[in-house]
Each structure stands twice: as structure tokens, then as C-alpha cells.
Structure 1
Amino acid sequence: MTALTDRDRTEDRWDDGFIARSRRPGAGSSGPGAGGEADTPGGDGGGDTDEGSDDALVRAVSGAGNDGGKAPSPPISPEGQALRTRLEALRQLVGLSRTRLDGKTLAEAGRVLDEAAARRGLSAQHTVVAIAGATGSGKSTLFNSLAGVQISETGLRRPTTAAPIACSWSDGAAGLLDRLEIPGRLRRRPRETSEAEALRGLVLVDLPDLDSAVGAHREHVDRVLALVDAVVWVVDPEKYADAVLHERYLRPLAGHAEVTFVVLNQMDRLPGESADLVLDDLRRLLDEDGIALGEHDEPGATVLGLSALTGEGVGELRDLLAQFTQEKGAATRRICADLDRAAGRLRPLYVADGHPSPEIGEAARAEFEDRLAEAVGAYAAGLAAERAWRRNAGKACGTPWLRLWRWYESRRAPRTLAGLAALAVIGGSRGPASAEVPAEEEVTARQRVEQAVRTVADAAADGLPDAWAQAVREAAVRGADQLPQALDEIAVTLGSAVTAPSAKPPRPAWWPAAVLAQAAMTLLQIYGGLWLVGQIVGVLEPRLMPPVLLMVAGIVGGPLVEWACSIAARGPARRYGQDAERRLRQAAAGCGRARVLEPVAAELLRYREVREQYATVAAGGTKLSTTRE
């Protein structure tokens, strides 16, 4: 038989027993689940473990899958699976948010996870209920009345209860009481009666006065209320509207209504219809506190009146606690309520008023790429490339005389207009030519890049919660740290390649024919000129017309061929310039994507993940759309 660890046993007991119970309409709450082990009167509370059903469950789990053929443990209930899903989502949420949010903002979520894990490791067969109230409310008297024996001291001296006292109706709650830090000398057992059997599994804790003048007493109250499964708030006709009770305890725990009981004690002091009037006013105050009341079979807090001194109404409370305990769902409801409260407080960190799409829009991407292309001078480079193509076409297809003249002009002015254009394109670079670039142009190019980064970061962060919007902007700024230098390198390597005077654009297939035609026109001019000179010197027979016509044909044909070539070169030159602009634009856009857009997109993906996890936590295990609120 496979051995089980203590952790396995406690996990199995929780999933198959504790969580699997149905919810009880009309229960109420106050503190995060915990309980304790009950001892015999005056005993020190040993670390008993649950017997009977727990042992059978351990044996069933141990034998599952073996040849013994023992039945496997029962499946996890939908409520238990939903709680597991929410806790796992909260754990993922905290893990994904640690580097994005302040640790203090995640402290409550971490506390909920810790307390839920601690409660899951303890007995699922017990329900820990605290009795809390103000000075003189009679909570200790009610505690003794439910136990059927004098356990908690009562009297006129205030405060009377100095430390939490526990009473357990069954064994196996030692771990729960250790968690509440209740020593063995303050752990008791009730009187053995037929009524006590119905409360089996109940662990009742009598707390000090919540308005005690002793600070240590109030600390005990706050600590235990944060760990118990449910709370019975005891009020009296004089102090049921006390501000300390409502503002410090009831109102903050309004979401724990299903594990909350509110008892109006000392009803014997109210004559006639006064009791009903006070109860109605108490319900009104609870409604103002935001506490749902469990009336008409609806889930919520239970409100009733009784007299612990005379016993009136105590039996009804005992029956309600018995039903509440037997359902064994109080700890689940308490943890769920804690999750709801934590989700409510975390909501501003994960959900903004807008409905953002966690991605960079196409318009923002296009604008960002346009600004980067402008920063590297992609348009100017395209124009320079187009001019270079047309210039080379003119050199190849122009008349020899015009080409000689251009050569002469180039000798007089080594720096051509195309060379100046190339320097302007690479104006922001840090390459060899950058020394001749005005500092103002370099500053302007850097400012354009910074403005482009700020614009796309603001567009991506629009509608996000403040913390995640800041994370998106920081990711963009970090990625853009070396972006201007990278763009400068692109401008040098690609921009100068198409704009430098030495750059040689490709030649189309019709260029040789145009060159031959231009050579033919030149030969006609030369031939006609030689023919005319021969006639002038008397070597040839005088015939003026033919040589003149040949010369005119060559002189007119040459410019016509050059003009036709310039017309034919417009389309290829434009395409060549557009291709050069596109290459430079794509290179700049790729650099921007790698350094800015991808880190921003990764941050948005992380936000989408935490948004989904938060939706799971807030929706009770049902995943919502990332834009649904």
C-alpha cells in the first residue's frame, strides 16, 4: 500500500469533505477560517487527529489504483474546484504582478493565500465560530449557555474576558486552536447532553470585548477574527448602534454576510413591541453597512433576538449553529468572501474605467513607423536615389558634348548636389560623414525618435490602470535607449548606399540600344562635319546639302534620343527611388519593432494574462473576457 504524507491526508480531507458541502442560506461571516481542538475541562488540549471517517478516507486513497480494488476517494465538488481555481488564479496573479506593483498592494492577496493554505491543511470536519461583542453585551453568558456549563467568567467587572476561550464539541481540533494561539488551559469541553451531539464539529471561541480599554484585548479580537470560519456578533439594546462595532468591524466585513450571525441579546429587558422595533432598527443599520440579510431563504447574515440569561431564543441559535456546522461549508464561504474582498481592493490595479484592447493598434504602429522613417530620412533618400538613377541615365544616354561639359563642371565643383543630398540624409548619423552634419539636425532627429516612442507608448497605455500604463511606458523608454544610434547606423549603411555620388543604380535592358542610337547620332555629326571640311579644303566635290543634312540629323537626333531616354527613365527611376525608400523605411521599422514595439507588446501580453487571472479571481472561477467588467 502506498504511504501518504500528512499533507496528502489533509488535502484529501479538505477536498472530499470540507469543500464538498452545500451552501446554507442565511449564514454570516467575519474572519478568515480557523478553529481549534477542544479538551476536557481544564485540559491542555492535545494534538488529536480525526478518527473514523478520516481514517477510512486515508485508507481509500492509499488503496486507490492497487490490486486491492478499494474504492477511490470521492471526486472534488464543483464548489471545491471553483475555490481551487480562484486560489490558483490569485497565486498566478500575485506572481505575475510582483515586479510591476508595490509589495504592500499585494500584501492582502498574499495573506489570503497564506491563510487559505493554512486552513486547508487543518481539519475539515470542524467549524470554528467566534462570539464577539462589546463590553456588557452578554457574549460570555451566551457562550456558557450554548456550552451548557460555566466556562467563561461573567460578572459586573469590566472587562471580564481577558483572553480567547475555546470550547470544542468533538476531538481533532487541536491544530485549529494552535493556529488561534489559544493555550491548552483555555480549551474546554461542553457538558455531555443530547443537544451537544447535534453540535459535533463545532468549535466555539469566546473573545474579549472589542471595545476594551486594554489594547491587548483588542489585539486578541482582531487576530482571532481574521482566522475563524464564522462570527456571532452579540449586541445589546443599549449599544447595538455603537460606531466602533459598525465602522470598524461590520462594515469592512460586509462581504462576509454568509458566515455572519448578529444576535440581539438581553431581549428580556425590552417590554412589549420594543423588541421588534429594536430588531427592525438593527436590520436597518446592517443594511446601511452593506450586509445582506438572510431573509426569505436568501443567503446572507442571520439576525435574531434572544436572552442568554433566561434562555429565550438560545435553542433557535443552537439549532442554526448545528445546521451550520453539519454543512461543513463555513471555511469555504469565508475564504471565498476573503477572495471577494481582496479582488475588490485589487480591482483598480487591474481594471481601468476604459475598455482597453491589450495590443498596439495598427494606426499607432503605422504612425510610429512613419516617424522613424522620417527620422532616418527615408523619403529624402528615395528622392536622392531617383535623382541618381536619372542622372546615370543622362550620363549613359546624353550627347557626348553635354557629357564633356558635365565632366568639366564636376571638375570645377567636386561636391555635387547629389553629394550634398547624401550628407543631408545621413545627417543624424554617427558615421564618418557625421562630422560635417550640423548639430541642430542631429538633435532634431533624436527628438523625432523620442517623440515617436512617447506617442506609441501613450497609445499602447491608453485605458490601462496606472501601474500597468507606467510599466508599458517604462518598457518603451528602456527599448528606445539605443534606438537613435541604431537608426543612425541604418541611415549610414543604407542611406549612403543609394545617395552617394559613387552609387551605381542598375541599368535597364534598353540602355545599350539608346547608347548605340546616341553614338549613331554622334557619328552622323562627325561624318557630316568631315564631309563638309573636305569640300571646303577642295578635297571633295562641293555638295553642301548632304553633309549639312547629316550634321543637322545628328545634332537634332542626339537631344531627341536623350529626351526620349529621360521620358523612358522616369518610371524606372521612380520605382528605384521608391524601392530605396521602402528598404530604408523597413529597416527603420524593424529596428523600432525589435527595440520598442516588441517589449511593449510583451508588457501588454503580461497585462492580458494578469487581467484574465484577475477575472478568474473576481468571477468565482468563471473566466471573463479581458474587456468585460
Structure 2
Amino acid sequence: MTTVGTTQTRQGLGSRLAALARVVELGPGRVDPKLLAESGQLLLRAGDRLKLSPDHTVVALAGGTGSGKSTLFNSVSGLELSPTGVRRPTTARTHACVWGLDGAGPLLDWLQIQWRHRFARASALDKGESRLHGLILLDLPDHDSIRALTDTEADRLIQIADLVVWVLDPQKYADASTHRRYVTELAGHDAVTIFVLNQVDRLDPEELAECVADLEDLLRREGVEKPVIVTTSAITGKGVDGLRAVLAETVAGRRAAVQRLEADLDRLTLRLAKIMPADGIPAASAAIDDARRIGLTDALCDAVGVPAVGEAMENVYGVRSMEWVGWPYTRWAAKLRPDPLNSLRLGDLKDEIRGLTGGSVSAQPAEVDNAVQALADGLTSGMHEAWRNGIRDAARSRSAQLPQVLSEELSEVAPRLDRVPGWWRLLLIWQYLLVLLFVAGLAWFGTALAYGVFGAGQLPAGLAVFGEAASLPWVGLMTLSVLGLGLLTAVASRNFVTLGAGSERDRLEREMRRRVGGVAGSMVIEPVERELARYNEFYSAMRSVQG
């Protein structure tokens, strides 16, 4: 792999890790906390490893007690660096052999290798070993150690090594603890895992072939698609050069660190993908469309009773107008009857209208909740349950305050019942003027009838014209005309009142809808849109993590 190719690979991994960081940021409440914690740990480990020497490859020799791991470590390094023997465990602390010490210090510190257990291949000893330059070979404590401390150290380094070499022996190569605890968990890490069947000097060729075939079959069943198996005998040196060649190829590629992180990321991605719908990620716009906004506003208006309030206000407007624009004689007669509002039989609705000015408008919490729930259900079709619940929670995040806020908003726009339009007052003056003219006409007609027809007496000279019998037809016609004009005015005014009542209702309902829409936008739609944006960004990051 060229330097350019390696750089591109690291950049690609960096992009995926950045996307994973965004997933971790957006995932709380939607992703298993344990999985998020593991993702965070991977991000920390990847960040640390990528900042350390890219020219060194950390290879961990791992295995159980008696596998010959330490002997193989000494054989590969060509030095007696790690103690061997029959004690359990032989290796209590991790030993490291470094080919090319420059720049390896910070990496060894990160690996937490004690200074007294670090060994460097001096130039005099590196004759013929230049191909291993950049190798950091670790001899781990036995993973099945009876000492908890060394067991934990082995687990830690197996998780962070660039390449893991499992040293198995013919007797325990199928050991359940190794396969269950490690091999199965590292499935998918084929590129950064090597299996060494050691101590093959104990087997004849047929037994060796049978063991290798059985081991390969076992590994494939556990998810290792292309297992790399090397056979060695640390005691006789058989196969050690082959293992060195495999390690040299890995070191020369300078890709093991990135491949290990990619493998860890791929495995984590498969687990994260479980929260992705099986039939694909449904598209979700971060902005709620106008149709849904209108639908929510309509439903909340119904919950508050805006149509009923508007209708009642229209009726009250008409009844109140009778006190001002009706024919006065009719109003005077109406005073002898019960309250005209009672004649409408509005019942509780009338009380509600009267309550508007007192701020007593109330929304029905159950209906408000149903309206909000309907919006959330319409937006979450096909989503994963975690995100459906998230959007529902966002929609209902302020549901406890929503009815009260709606009531307060609508109380502010409720019209005053005692409000009188200016044209009503002008019309009242006009009608009383007609009443005066009608009364005057009746007085004139009576005077002319009494003095001009029946000769009741003689009027003063200045008033004699009112007593002439000849004026009776004209006075009668004028009186009837005034009466007709009054009735015509009353009819026309009722028509104008009807139009005005409808206009008043429309104005009231528009203002109420505007207020309800504003409350719905700030208390329901905005939280939902934020959650939808989070949903879209999360799955966009997930696609980037998948690569």
C-alpha cells in the first residue's frame, strides 16, 4: 500500500469516526446506553491510536497457559526476553520487543507497558531483520490466568492491539474459553487476526493436517470467513520464519492499526444498524408541511370550541343589535317580554360567551392531546419504535401547559359584549327622528281633524294652518310615509346587521385561528421539527458510519 493509499484510508476512517461521534451525540434516548458507551470508548481509543506513531504496528501474542506463547515470542524476537517454564502463569506482565525504537515511546506508554519490560532490537542484532522495522511485538499474560490482574491486562491489550496473533496448541486449540470469549467477539476482524497452531513438533503430518482442517472449520463456523492459520514449533523453529514473513508483510503495509479500527467500527455498525427499519429509512422532512399544520390548527380549534364560539357571537351580535337598530315601537313592545338572549335558548353557550371577557375560555385537555397525538402518528409511519416514541414525546413535551395557554390566548381576543358599532348609534338617532316626525304628523292630523272638520274651535292666527281640513290628505300621506320609511329603515338595518354579524364572526374566528396556530407552532410543531431534524441527522450520520 502506498503512502497516498494509506493516507486516503486514514481519511476515510476519520470521516466514519466523525460520523460515529455525531451518532453518539444524537443517540441518547434512542440507542441502547451500553452501545453508546462502547461507541464512545471506540472513539477515544481510535483518537488516541491515530495520534500515535503510524509507522509502528502493535502485534499481540495471545494465548492460554501452556500454548508456548512466550517461547514463540522469544523465537520470533531471537532473544530470551520473556520467561518460560511450567509455572502458572509464566508471563505475569506484558513484555514488548520493538524493532525501531524511534517514535515508539508514546505508543508504549499508551499501551501501559512497564519500562523494565520494554526491549529494543539494537542495530547489531537487527541483521537480516530490517523487514520487521516498525514492529512492536507483545507477549501478553495468559488469558486464562488464575491471576485476575493479568487476565484483565490481557483482555485490555487484546482490545487495542493492531494485530492479534492467537497462539493455540494441538491439545487445546478448540478451548471453549478462547473461542467464546475472544474469537467469536472478534468475528469480522480477519485482516487483523492470525491463528498460530504451535507445538506441531508433537504431531505427525496426518495429525497436523487433520488439526489444521478442524481448526479452520471451527473458525469459519464462528464467523471468521478467511482464517489465516500458521503452523509453528517454537522449540524446533519450524514455521517461525513463515510467521515472521506474515508479520513483516503486515508491518510493511502500515495498515494494521487502521484495519483494526475499521474492523471494530464495522462490528459496532452492525449492532447500531439494528435500530434501522428493515424496509429502509423512511424519508422525513425536517419541516412540517402546511397541510399538517392546518390539520393540527383545525383540531385544536375544535378542542377549544372556536366554531361554537364564533356561531354564538354571531347570534349575540344580532340580538344586541335589536336594542339599537330595530324599529323603536318594536323594541318598546319587546321590553314587555323576557330577555331576548333567553329567547335564543343558548343555555350554557350564552354563559360561555359572557365568560369570554372574564378569561374563562377553556380547552378540553383530552381533545388537545388527541390532536397532538394524531400529528405525531402521521409523521412517524414506518419509523423505528425508538424514534416514533421520541417524536411523540417531543409533540407532547408541553401538552400539560397547552390547554391553559390556548385558553389565555383566546381570552385576549374575546370581544366585549357591550361594544356598540358607531353606525348603530347614528341609526338610532335617525329612527328617533322618524318617531318624532311620526308623532308630529299624528298631532297635525288630529289638530286638522278636530278644528277643520269637527269645528272644535278657532286656533290662534299663527297656528291656523294646522287646523285646515284641506291639509288632512297631505298630512296623512306624510305620516304614513314616515312610518313606511321607519319600517324600511328597520328592514334594511336588519340586513346590514346580518352582514355585520357574519363579518364579526369571520373576524373573530380568523383571529382565534391565528392565535391557535401560533400556539401550536411554538409548543408542538417546533419541538417536533427539532426532533425530525435530529432523526434526519442521526440517520445521515449512520449512513456515513456504514461507509
Normalising by structure 1, we get a TM-score of 0.71
Match for residue 514 of structure 2 among 576, 580, 586: 586
**What is the distance in 1 between the residues matched to 2:494 and 2:222?**
86
**What is the distance in 2 between the residues matched to 1:599 and 1:274?**
68
Q: Secondary structure at the match of 1:424?
A: helix
Are residues 1:82 and 2:21 paired?
no
Are residues 1:491 and 2:410 paired?
yes
Are residues 1:400 and 2:328 paired?
yes
Match for residue 315 of structure 1 among 214, 227, 241: 241
Q: Which amino acid aligns with 1:341?
A: R
Query: Which residue pairs with 1:46 in the alignment?
Result: none
Contact 2:325-2:427 within 8 A present in 1 as well: no
**What is the distance in 1 between the residues matched to 2:340 and 2:372?**
45
Alignment of 1:446-485 (within 5 A): 446-460=365-379, 464-465=383-384, 468-485=387-404
Q: Secondary structure at the match of 1:153?
A: coil
Q: Secondary structure at the match of 2:47?
A: helix
What is the Cα-based RMSD across aligned positions, in Å? 4.0
Contact 2:61-2:167 within 8 A present in 1 as well: yes
Contact 2:297-2:517 within 8 A present in 1 as well: yes
Q: Could you tell me which runs of 5 or more consecutive residues in structure 2 were left unpaired when the two chains were aligned.
A: 454-466
Q: Which amino acid aligns with 2:401?
A: Q
Query: Which residue pairs with 1:502 in the alignment?
Result: 418
Query: Which residue pairs with 2:68 in the alignment?
Result: 138
Contact 1:350-1:614 within 8 A present in 2 as well: no
The structure-2 alpha-carbon separation of the partners of 1:195 and 1:327, relative to structure 1 and needing over 3 Å to count, comes to same
Q: CA deviation at 1:587?
A: 0.5
Query: Which residue pairs with 2:117 in the alignment?
Result: 186
The structure-2 alpha-carbon separation of the partners of 1:408 and 1:467, relative to structure 1 and needing over 3 Å to count, comes to same
String of CA shifts for 1:54-109, please: whole Å, max 9, x gaps.
xxxxxxxxxxxxxxxxxxxxxxx322222222333333443455688786543212
The structure-2 alpha-carbon separation of the partners of 1:548 and 1:238, relative to structure 1 and needing over 3 Å to count, comes to farther
Contact 1:375-1:448 within 8 A present in 2 as well: yes
Q: Which amino acid aligns with 2:145?
A: S
**What is the distance in 1 between the residues matched to 2:221 and 2:12?**
30
**What is the distance in 2 between the residues matched to 1:414 and 1:248?**
84
Q: CA deviation at 1:317?
A: 2.2
**What is the distance in 2 between the residues matched to 1:21 and 1:245?**
38
Q: CA deviation at 1:408?
A: 5.1
**What is the distance in 2 between the residues matched to 1:277 and 1:22?**
40
Query: Which residue pairs with 2:459 in the alignment?
Result: none
Q: Tell me whether 277-286 or 98-107 shows the greater mean CA deviation.
A: 98-107
**What is the distance in 1 between the residues matched to 2:543 and 2:392?**
24
Match for residue 305 of structure 1 among 219, 222, 231: 231
Query: Which residue pairs with 1:335 in the alignment?
Result: 261
Query: Which residue pairs with 2:140 in the alignment?
Result: 207
The structure-2 alpha-carbon separation of the partners of 1:239 and 1:362, relative to structure 1 and needing over 3 Å to count, comes to farther
Normalising by structure 2, we get a TM-score of 0.81
Alignment of 1:51-90 (within 5 A): 77-90=7-20
Q: Which amino acid aligns with 1:334?
A: R
The structure-2 alpha-carbon separation of the partners of 1:269 and 1:586, relative to structure 1 and needing over 3 Å to count, comes to same
Match for residue 192 of structure 2 among 259, 270, 277: 259
**What is the distance in 2 between the residues matched to 1:459 and 1:318?**
62
Q: CA deviation at 1:222?
A: 0.1
Query: Which residue pairs with 2:464 in the alignment?
Result: none
Contact 2:438-2:482 within 8 A present in 1 as well: yes
Alignment of 1:58-457 (within 5 A): 77-97=7-27, 104-172=34-102, 173-190=104-121, 192=125, 194-293=127-226, 301-348=227-274, 355=282, 357=284, 359=286, 360=288, 362=290, 364-391=292-319, 398-407=326-335, 409=337, 421=349, 423-425=351-353, 432=358, 434=360, 445-457=364-376
Q: Secondary structure at the match of 1:258?
A: helix
**What is the distance in 1 between the residues matched to 2:389 and 2:239?**
57
Query: Which residue pairs with 2:541 in the alignment?
Result: 613
**What is the distance in 1 between the residues matched to 2:340 and 2:110?**
96
Q: CA deviation at 1:135?
A: 3.1
Q: Tell me whether 219-228 or 412-421 shows the greater mean CA deviation.
A: 412-421
Q: CA deviation at 1:229?
A: 0.8
String of CA shifts for 1:210-244, please: whole Å, max 9, x gaps.
23333333212101112211111122333333222
Q: Which amino acid aligns with 1:152?
A: S
| Aligned sequence identity (%) | 36
Q: Secondary structure at the match of 1:132?
A: strand
The structure-2 alpha-carbon separation of the partners of 1:576 and 1:127, relative to structure 1 and needing over 3 Å to count, comes to same
Question: Rg: which structure is higher?
Answer: 2
**What is the distance in 1 between the residues matched to 2:422 and 2:389?**
49
Q: CA deviation at 1:162?
A: 2.8
**What is the distance in 1 between the residues matched to 2:174 and 2:499?**
89
Q: CA deviation at 1:494?
A: 1.3
Match for residue 604 of structure 1 among 526, 532, 535: 532
**What is the distance in 2 between the residues matched to 1:554 and 1:96?**
80
**What is the distance in 2 between the residues matched to 1:543 and 1:504?**
41
Q: CA deviation at 1:326?
A: 1.3
Q: CA deviation at 1:202?
A: 0.6
Contact 2:449-2:472 within 8 A present in 1 as well: no
**What is the distance in 1 between the residues matched to 2:68 and 2:422?**
101
Q: CA deviation at 1:590?
A: 0.6
Q: Which amino acid aligns with 1:246?
A: H
Q: Tell me whether 216-225 or 465-474 shows the greater mean CA deviation.
A: 465-474
**What is the distance in 1 between the residues matched to 2:85 and 2:341?**
113
Contact 1:165-1:187 within 8 A present in 2 as well: yes
The structure-2 alpha-carbon separation of the partners of 1:576 and 1:148, relative to structure 1 and needing over 3 Å to count, comes to same
Q: Secondary structure at the match of 1:292?
A: coil
Contact 1:382-1:579 within 8 A present in 2 as well: no
Q: Which amino acid aligns with 2:63?
A: G
Q: Which amino acid aligns with 1:133?
A: G
Q: Secondary structure at the match of 2:91?
A: coil
The structure-2 alpha-carbon separation of the partners of 1:426 and 1:339, relative to structure 1 and needing over 3 Å to count, comes to farther
**What is the distance in 2 between the residues matched to 1:486 and 1:84?**
48
Q: Secondary structure at the match of 2:153?
A: helix
Q: CA deviation at 1:343?
A: 3.2
String of CA shifts for 1:375-425, please: whole Å, max 9, x gaps.
332112221333345446656653232233345547798998789645324
The structure-2 alpha-carbon separation of the partners of 1:274 and 1:315, relative to structure 1 and needing over 3 Å to count, comes to same
The structure-2 alpha-carbon separation of the partners of 1:20 and 1:514, relative to structure 1 and needing over 3 Å to count, comes to farther
The structure-2 alpha-carbon separation of the partners of 1:413 and 1:328, relative to structure 1 and needing over 3 Å to count, comes to closer
Q: CA deviation at 1:154?
A: 3.6
**What is the distance in 1 between the residues matched to 2:126 and 2:341?**
117
Q: Which amino acid aligns with 1:195?
A: G
Alignment of 1:515-554 (within 5 A): 529=442, 533=446, 537=450, 538=453, 541=469
